[in-house]
């Protein structure tokens, strides 16, 4: 019979349960929002705008709306057809900016090609920009001012602090330099006193860079690109990737069935890492939870109320 090491952590023990953590966070936000309503007569309100019929976006938007309602918040979803002009979209944003019952505005990306996404995102009132994508919020984050922080990096750092406690002095390597994940993640980890490297498609010897990481964040959008032998033993791995690939079962794949994988080869990586976020069920659920957290905080700030701490 094969011998087993009594206390060797299994892959299950190593997996960071983002779904459970997000559920706890949503519960705390729900409680805090109920209190804001009871004490100050303010119900946090989130408006989500979607243009066109992209099926993945439709699912994300439906989930956001349902979770917002479950948290006791107001949820308005504006579904515009794919041919909507940029001027009409900007007019809707101006209307939402002026609506005192709406504290958060999210324009689902990607937008159709005829619309300038940057112009649209920058038309959102920065204090209602619950995605944290506005250039003013990017600037606030860079200089350490309070603002709206992008949800995926915010949720990822919450999971890291829960797994590791103090992050001071740790080497963090982020693979991916997007404005939505890579760059804000770097700012947040710098604020936690990590030594931060942002790697990208032009970085030399990416595997060697990754092997230096105590914290490795994968945000490249390439299925299972990061292999087990790129990971330093004991590192904590945050996999932000959500990639749809053909089913592992060739019969199902032939029928067009798909599955979702991250940017990290999970099994290989889990054998080396101390903790790792699975896909699905890791970072993904934290993104919606942090969207609600940002909406709650925006509603407090708009009404001069100190937000309740949302930590576990």
| Chain residues that interact with ligand GUN, rule: CB under 6 A | 106-109, 131, 151, 287
Query: Whose Cβ is closer to ligand GUN: residue 107's or residue 236's?
Result: 107
Minimum separation from the CB atom of position 181 to ligand GUN (A) = 9
Q: State which residue, 57 or 203, has the beta carbon closest to ligand GUN.
A: 57
In the sheet that 195-199 helps form, which strands lie side by side, from edge to edge?
Answer: 195-199, 171-175, 215-218, 236-239, 275-276
**3-state SS assignment for residue 141:** helix
Please give the angle made by the CA atoms of 275, 276 and 277, to the nearest 5 degrees. Answer: 135
Distance (Å, whole) CA 218 – CA 207: 12
Which position's Cβ is nearest ligand GUN?
A: 109
Give me the long-range contacts of 306-312 (CB less than 8 A, separation at least 24): 307/32, 308/32, 308/35, 310/25, 310/28, 310/29, 310/32, 312/21, 312/24, 312/25, 312/28, 312/162
CB of 125 to ligand GUN, least distance (A): 15
14, 125, 129, 131: the active-site residue: 131
- Annotated active-site residue 239? The verdict is no
CB of 37 to ligand GUN, least distance (A): 26
Closest to ligand GUN by CB, 44 vs 132, is 132
- Identify the burial level of 173 via C-beta atoms within 10 angstroms of its C-beta, where 0-12 means exposed, 13-18 middle and 19 or more buried: buried
- Identify which of residues 180 and 226 has a Cβ nearer to ligand GUN in the complex: 180
Nearer to ligand GUN, 21 or 60 (CB): 60
**Which SS3 state, helix, strand or coil, does residue 280 take?**
coil
Nearest-angstrom CA–CA distance, 61 and 108: 7
Please confirm, yes or no, whether 108 is among the known catalytic residues: yes
The reply to whether 214 belongs to the active site is no
Calculate the CA dihedral of residues 287, 289, 293, 298 and round it to 10 degrees: 60
CB of 117 to ligand GUN, least distance (A): 9
Q: How far is the CB of 121 from ligand GUN (least distance, A)?
A: 8
Q: Which of 14, 64, 128, 232 is catalytic?
A: 64
Q: Which residues are catalytic?
A: 64, 108, 131
């Amino acid at each position: 019979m094969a011998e087993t090491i009594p206390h060797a952590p299994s892959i299950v023990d190593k997996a960071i349960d983002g779904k459970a953590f997000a559920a706890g966070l949503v519960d705390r936000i729900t409680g805090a929002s109920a209190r804001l309503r009871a004490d100050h007569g303010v119900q946090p309100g989130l408006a989500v705008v979607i243009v066109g019929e992209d099926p993945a976006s439709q699912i994300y938007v439906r989930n956001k709306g349902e979770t917002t309602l479950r948290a006791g918040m107001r949820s308005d979803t504006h579904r515009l057809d794919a041919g909507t002009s940029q001027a009409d979209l900007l007019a809707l944003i101006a209307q939402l900016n002026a609506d005192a019952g709406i504290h958060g505005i999210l324009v689902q990306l990607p937008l159709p090609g005829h619309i300038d996404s940057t112009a649209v995102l920058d038309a959102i009132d920065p204090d209602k920009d619950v995605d944290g994508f506005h250039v003013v919020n990017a600037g606030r984050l860079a200089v350490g001012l309070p603002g709206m922080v992008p949800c995926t990096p915010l949720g990822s750092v919450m999971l890291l602090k829960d797994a590791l406690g103090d992050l001071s002095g740790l080497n963090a390597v982020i693979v991916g330099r997007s404005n939505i994940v890579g760059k804000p993640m770097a700012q947040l980890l710098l604020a936690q006193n990590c030594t931060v490297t942002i790697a990208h498609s032009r970085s030399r010897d990416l595997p060697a860079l990754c092997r230096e990481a105590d914290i490795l964040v994968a945000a490249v959008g390439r299925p299972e690109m990061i292999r087990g032998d790129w990971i330093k033993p004991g590192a904590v791995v945050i996999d932000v990737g959500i990639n749809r690939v053909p089913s592992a079962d060739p019969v199902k794949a032939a029928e067009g069935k798909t599955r979702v994988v991250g940017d990290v080869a999970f099994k290989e990586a889990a054998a080396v890492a101390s903790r790792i976020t699975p896909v699905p069920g890791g970072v993904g659920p934290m993104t919606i939870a942090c969207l609600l957290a940002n909406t709650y905080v925006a509603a407090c700030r708009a009404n001069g109320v100190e937000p309740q701490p949302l930590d576990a």
